[in-house]
């Protein structure tokens, strides 16, 4: 009785057939999928429902009688109305104690909706890939075409500033200063945007990278800022070796430590890089004694162009942490702000212990 109830009320099509594939029993779901009544199906078998030219169905069916215990495939059925029904087809052959075929148990699932969704996803993926390629091309062309005229504009503005500073009125000097500063910020913005756009497409293949080595290189790149601010950077002794893009890992440490130096408090910056394991992954953190991050902005800081402070107080393009997020995600990890009582901030990010993500 339980089996019969399960057979009748199953949401997928189920059928029991004789060894030659002629239907003995079918459930209501099977009838709904193919459009035939139980009486009509009593005169048919598996192969009668196959759509003319259905891939593999007619060739695969006889294999069930040749020792293969079960078959599973996607094929096309012909609905009673004539329309095509895409189905997931599973069939098993049951034998008696002497190995003789007794009957077949089969299931079909209507996968038309799933296939439509899959096709849409493929279409969206292709469109997204095309859009990404267009954006990459645009970023490259825009960077090349904009950088040169901006460089020229800034050079002439700086020349005017040097030649005429103090010879005209103070207001003109101020205007020239604004223009020079604006051109410089535009150059930095274009450079950072190009770097951001290339994280996934122009990165290096992943190799074994010692975090301690990458961190030391990042600190060498920041040596002037560290010295001028009186910053002290300390690290745990157990920094791991990762499968990573070495250039991007250096860039990640450089941005995080550079932020800690930039957003410092009245005290000289104290930055600590730590590492521990978390659920089979490396978790690294960069903590500081700076001005801190309001918890309500914990997600916003990783969004492109999102700034929490004025340009005059803390110069920058608003891309640094968004860049960090893209680098970490390319490596199969995630990055977040850890709530920290009192002053200072702590940013944490995870990295796979072995293998890493595929280099994109």
- CATH code where residue 77 lies: 3.30.450.20
Contact call for residues 257 and 286 (beta carbons, < 8 A):
yes
Judge whether residue 256 has pLDDT over 80: yes
Domain ends where: 198, 231, 253? 198
Contact 31, 44 (CB under 8 A): no
Does 354 lie in the same domain as 230?
A: yes
User: What is the chain's Cα-based Rg?
Assistant: 33
Residues 188, 227, single domain; the answer is no
Tens digits of per-residue pLDDT, 48-59?
Answer: 888 876 665 555
pTM value?
0.54
- The CATH number linked to 124 is 1.10.287
Q: 182: part of which helix (H) or strand (E)? A: helix 170-197
**Are 216 and 270 in a shared domain?**
yes
Helix locations, 200-343, DSSP H: 211-221, 223-229, 246-262, 320-330
As a whole number, the mean pLDDT across the chain is: 80
Burial (CB count <10 Å: 0-12, 13-18, 19+), residue 209? buried
**Which of 198, 226, 258 is the C-terminal boundary of a domain?**
198
Same domain assignment for residues 101 and 142: no
Question: Over the stretch 169-184, which tens digit does the pLDDT of each residue have?
Answer: 777 778 877 787 777 7
Q: Domain count of the chain?
A: 3
Q: Percent of the chain beyond pLDDT 70?
A: 77
- Which residue is it, tokens 């996607």? 74
Kindly report the number of other CB atoms within 10 A of residue 172's CB atom.
Answer: 13
**Residue 342 dihedral angles phi and psi, to the nearest 5°:** 80, -150
The reply to whether 122 and 188 lie within a common domain is yes
Whether residue 118 sits in one domain with residue 105: no
Residues 56, 118: one domain? Answer: no
pLDDT value at residue 196: 66
In order, the DSSP letters of 187-222 are: HHHHHHHHHHHTTTTSPPPPEEEEHHHHHHHHHHHT
- Residue (of 179, 151, 149, 152) closest to 164 by Cα position: 179
For residue 282, what are the domain limits? 204-360
Task: Name the DSSP class of 257.
Answer: H
Average pLDDT (125-129) is: 79
Please state which of the ranges 19-33, 142-156, 227-241, 319-333 shows the lowest mean pLDDT. 142-156
Which pLDDT score is estimated for 358?
44
Strand order across the beta sheet in which 270-278 lies: 232-235, 270-278, 281-288, 346-352, 335-337
192 and 251 together in one domain: no
- Position 357 pLDDT exceeds 50: no
């Amino acid at each position: 009785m339980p089996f019969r109830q399960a057979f009748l009320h199953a949401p997928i099509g189920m059928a029991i057939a004789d060894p030659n594939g002629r239907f003995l029993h079918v459930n209501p779901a099977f009838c709904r999928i193919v459009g035939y009544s139980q009486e009509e199906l009593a005169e048919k078998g598996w192969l009668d429902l196959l759509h003319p030219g259905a891939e593999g169905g007619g060739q695969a069916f006889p294999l069930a009688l040749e020792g293969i215990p079960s078959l599973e495939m996607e094929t096309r059925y012909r609905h009673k109305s004539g329309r095509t029904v895409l189905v997931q087809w599973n069939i098993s052959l049951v034998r008696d104690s002497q190995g003789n075929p007794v009957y077949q148990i089969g299931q079909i699932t209507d996968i038309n909706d799933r296939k439509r969704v899959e096709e849409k996803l493929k279409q969206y993926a292709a469109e997204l890939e095309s859009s990404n390629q267009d954006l990459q091309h645009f970023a490259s062309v825009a960077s090349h075409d904009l950088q040169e005229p901006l460089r020229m504009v800034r050079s002439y503005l700086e020349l005017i500033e040097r030649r005429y500073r103090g010879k005209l009125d103070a207001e003109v000097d101020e205007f020239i200063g604004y223009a020079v500063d604006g051109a410089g910020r535009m150059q930095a913005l274009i450079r950072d945007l190009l770097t951001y756009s290339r994280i996934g497409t122009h990165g290096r293949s992943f190799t074994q990278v010692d975090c301690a080595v990458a961190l030391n290189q990042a600190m060498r790149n920041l040596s002037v800022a560290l010295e001028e601010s009186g910053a002290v950077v300390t690290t745990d002794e157990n920094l791991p070796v990762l499968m990573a893009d070495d250039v991007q890992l250096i860039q990640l440490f450089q941005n995080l430590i550079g932020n800690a130096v930039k957003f410092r408090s009245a005290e000289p910056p104290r930055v600590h890089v730590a590492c521990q394991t978390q659920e089979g992954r490396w978790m690294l953190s960069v903590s500081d004694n700076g001005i801190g991050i309001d918890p309500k902005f914990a997600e916003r800081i990783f969004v492109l162009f999102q700034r929490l402070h004025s340009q005059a107080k803390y110069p920058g393009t608003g891309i640094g942490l968004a860049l960090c997020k893209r680098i970490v995600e390319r490596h199969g990890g995630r990055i977040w702000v850890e709530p920290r009582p009192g002053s200072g901030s702590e940013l944490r990010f995870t990295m796979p212990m072995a293998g890493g993500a595929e280099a994109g």
